[in-house]
Amino acid sequence: MLKPSLFLFGLMVFSAGCHIPAPDERAVKQMLTTFFAAVERDDEDMARACLIDLDAFHELNPDVAARVDAESFTATLMAELIQNYRDMARFFEGRKLKVKSIKLGDNWYQYKGHQAFKDTEVIVSADGEEVPVIIRGIVRVEGKWRIVDLSGNDML
């Protein structure tokens, strides 16, 4: 009896509805899980580490110096992300969180070819109640995935 080839095995797994996540997908999911765990623990430093940082912002916007008031623009963007994080933390305050599922949004490419995902859906269980959270933008910069937009949720 012939053993099925690796290709046929893969085809059977795929046709059975199994999904084997790609390395980037696993990395994004791990980062989001870390982010929500940090929110639960009220660990602002860890949560902020998952948000875009100034270096990442400048890499994504290499011509930012040409803006009329680049430093103010950068400071405003960071302040909005941090405020969105604080709003989310307040929304979940005192509730036990668990990431139930993560469905990555559309894969696309940010300025200068940076890989990104838009409109990723995270279902969070907060004391048993399921809460959908949309992460509007996640971008890969220097090998790390960063949340760049948390807006558009009822809690924010």
Per-residue pLDDT tens, the chain, 156 aa: give them.
Answer: 445 454 444 444 444 456 666 788 899 999 999 999 998 888 989 999 999 887 787 788 767 665 667 777 778 888 888 888 988 888 888 888 889 999 999 998 887 788 999 999 999 998 888 989 999 999 998 889 999 988 878 765
pLDDT tens-place string over residues 25-53:
899 999 999 999 998 888 989 999 999 88
Could you write out the DSSP letters of every residue in 16-73? TT-----HHHHHHHHHHHHHHHHHHHT-HHHHHHHB--HHHHHHH-TTGGGSTTHHHH
- Single-letter amino acid, residue 91: F
Tokens of residue 129, six digits:
């109640």
Share of the chain above pLDDT 90, in %: 31
Phi then psi for 52, rounded to 5 degrees? -60, 140
Q: How far does CA 51 lie from the centroid of its chain?
A: 8
Round to whole Å and give the CA distance between 47 and 76: 18
Distance CA 57, CA 63 (A): 11
pLDDT of 4 reads 46
pTM of the model: 0.77
